[in-house]
Amino acid sequence: MRKSLGSKRREIPEAARHEIVRIYAEMLNGDGSYGEFSKIFDREDFGYREIRVERPLRLSFQVTPERLEALKVEKPLLKLGASEQADIIACFESRLPMTAFKNRDAFENAVGRALKGAGIKIGPPVKKAILSVFSERDEEADICLDSDGRPEPDTELRDFELVPLKEDWSDYVAREVTPFVPDAWVDQTYRDDRDGEIGRVGYEINFNRYFYKYILPRPLAEIDAELEQLEAEIAGLLKDVAA
């Protein structure tokens, strides 16, 4: 091919195209038999539903000198007056223990009591910055719940599974997901735009899946002999260059 066509780097010559069409039309192998190079599949065999698998958000919280320094440069805090900034930092330094909280609600309550005791009121942006700065993901922490008491998903742990169209997604999850991550769940709001069902429909033709043929590796002795021959050739070339 004189010029690449996008990501394509190979050209099928005219004779090969005719051979491909003939094999396809006659459902033949190269030797005239049936089934190895040409196969019949249902359309659904190539389809799948992409489901979104969520895992719960687990955070621990701790006030530390390093995190207090990080809080000082958070944009919501910088928008406050200098005295308000200083009062908030002083409140955290003096009224909150520098121990880890494994529960977000417990930490929020502790923050609320500390700020109330210091006579400080903060808005949602500052509260969000506080929770972000003093938190870290922790597999041993309690699950963070939303206002309805449901687990919040951790976007960093979000994953997608491709479920064959001919299989029920719940059966697939019970077999392929739940045994390995018991706290995972499927986001049932992630649906296909056309049929409205859970998971977005897609199609993929994976030739290796349907036409892969295992080839037995060469004997180890044969490979070793070939490597020795190559080493000898390289040694000879280096010797000629040195001379």
What pLDDT does residue 109 have? Answer: 95
What pLDDT does residue 34 have? Answer: 58
Torsion of CA 93, 64, 105, 127, to 10 degrees: 70
Q: Contact at 8 Å (CB) between 16 and 146?
A: no
As given in the structure block, the two tokens for residue 29 are: 């192998």
What pLDDT does residue 21 have? Answer: 83
How many angstroms separate the CA atoms of 160 and 140, rounded? Answer: 24
35: alpha, beta or left? (left if phi > 0; alpha if psi -120 to 50): left
How many angstroms separate the CA atoms of 152 and 79, rounded? Answer: 29
Q: Which parts of the chain sit beneath pLDDT 70?
A: 1-8, 28-36, 243
How many angstroms separate the CA atoms of 95 and 105, rounded? Answer: 17
As given in the structure block, the two tokens for residue 106 are: 């417990």
For the question of whether the overall pTM of this predicted structure is more than 0.85, the answer is no
What pLDDT does residue 215 have? Answer: 86
